[in-house]
Amino acid sequence: MGCIREIKKVNVLLVSTMILAAFTPIVMAATTDDLIITFNPDGDIDIDVNISDYDFGSVQANEWSNTTGGTFTLYNNGTVAMDTRIKTNATTDETDMSLNATGVAPGQDEYAIKIQGLDATGYLETSYNLYFDTSLLPADSKTFDVCLLIGTNLSANHSQQTTTISFEGSQS
């Protein structure tokens, strides 16, 4: 009979433990949760260059022809600070002359264009490589000049030549 009492005590203890465990919260491993937010960035780049064309007139070979005194103005009409890169054509529109991007001793039927007055002075290339100006604030502007050098000689008496200088603004 003593053994049955002990078994009953153990059974009561086990049943009590099971009931207690059923009502006690179980601690598990940590869990995670997410918060998703959505937003629309509000800022734009709006680059403008004034004056939009310029005629150097008659240009002598192997002599720099320069605008002076900040002939052109670069404007940031956007809402964020802007960095500016500049490039030009590989040839004139008439294809009679080719760009010498190094600016060092342009050869026959070559020309070089240099920008002065912005953060960096440099020769124009055919792709947007160099930042000529950085961190131009919204509603701000800077003046600059364009310098042109024709090579040491020409293969012919070419007609008037035209090339396009392009500006790219990106957020600083």
Structural domains in the chain, CATH included, are 47-171 (2.60.40)
pLDDT of 127 = 97
Q: Which helix (H) or strand (E) holds 75?
A: strand 72-76
**Element housing 165 (H / E):** strand 165-171
Q: Which helix (H) or strand (E) holds 170?
A: strand 165-171
If one counts every other C-beta atom within 10 angstroms of the C-beta of residue 112, the result is 21
Q: What is the torsional sign of CA 16, 19, 21, 24?
A: negative
Of 6-15, 99-108, 119-128, 139-148, the poorest mean pLDDT is in 6-15
Distance CA 114, CA 103 (A): 8
Element (DSSP H or E) covering residue 84: strand 82-88
Tens of pLDDT, residue by residue over 109-135, are 999 999 999 999 999 999 999 999 999
Give residue for tokens 């709006």: 46
DSSP helix/strand/coil, 91:
strand
Round to whole Å and give the CA distance between 74 and 94.
Answer: 27
Q: How confident is the model at residue 32 (pLDDT cuts 50, 70, 90)?
A: confident
Distance CA 149, CA 157 (A): 16
Assess whether pLDDT exceeds 70 at residue 24. no
The residue type of 95 is: T
Mean pLDDT for the stretch of residues 38-49: 80
pLDDT at 36 over 80: no
